[in-house]
Amino acid sequence: MSKRKVLLMGKSGSGKTSMRSIIFANYIARDTNRLGPTMEVEHAHVRFLGNLVLHLWDCGGQENFMENYLVSQKDQIFKNVQVLIYVFDVESREVEKDYGYFQSCLGALLQNSPTAKIFCLVHKMDLIVEEKREDIFIDKERDINAKAGEIFKKVGCTPDIRCFRSSIWDETLYKAWSAIVHKLIPNAETMEEKLLKFAQIIDADEVLLFEKATFLVIAQAKINDHPDLHRFEKVSNIIKQFKLSCSKMGSQFESIHVRNNNFAAFIDSFTSNTFIMLILSDGTVSTATTLMNIRSVKKHFEKLETKQ
């Protein structure tokens, strides 16, 4: 069994626990307001793709806790980390203090886990008027990289940080977390190579895999481009809500098939840990043939999962 240590950090009230609860504990956005602040560190072990376990360290962001992480608990917190996710509240009024803690965390991470991947989420973007979101995010991303560069320069390195805008109220949360977990899956590239071959054989526009519990996109292959870059994260969000509704009624979600004259879409239970989605331009394609094609490659992907 393969374990991945994931640190979730940021100031108190930035939304760390809310996003974790939505992605991994099946909360809906409106229910997260009853979550209290995290005290010290909350640990969660999440089984992902069967043999992969994500060890999430949700670190409380109050000042006294942050000081402890960076002094007395530094070795314990920052050792053997595969991913650091640092969450910035886009409406924070203590911007310089936020960056100070961020830089301190980066310094501790470089000392203890220099190969860890770093992601920054500019969170609560729904609070910004839509026409200003792009500019504000670009400015924030530039500042984050500049602050990180000051720390990395001390050890002669260049920061490699991916930034995402996010909100618990739309698909941006799924886009960010899909990108994060994709980096934690050892066979992700192999999965995508196999998906691409499958798409070419059955003449599909796109094929992708969703993790069954979280409905995060873990691998995808596309033959034809599409103008909506966030469409699958929207699907993740919608299907996750639909799955929760099914569960409340004592039912299990198994599949959805949608078609018209111009396209056909199939979302079906695939391996024990995934759903598969196929998009085809041919709206007349046979459902029986498509399902048979899905079953024919199922064993290949089950073998890939066991190698995680």
Tell me the fold of 188-307.
Beta-Lactamase (3.30.450)
Mean pLDDT, all residues of the chain:
86
Q: Domains of the chain: which residue ranges?
A: 3-183, 188-307
Confidence class for position 238, pLDDT limits 50, 70, 90: confident
> Does the structure show a pLDDT above 90 at 253?
no
The number of residues making up the chain comes to 308
pTM value is 0.86
Residue 189: CB partners within 8 Å, gap ≥ 6?
A: none
Confidence class for position 36, pLDDT limits 50, 70, 90: low
Residue 308: predicted pLDDT: 59
Lowest mean pLDDT among 3-12, 43-52, 80-89: 43-52
CATH of 3-183, one of 2.20.25.90, 3.40.1410.10, 3.40.50.300, 3.40.50.620: 3.40.50.300
> Does the structure show a pLDDT above 90 at 122?
yes
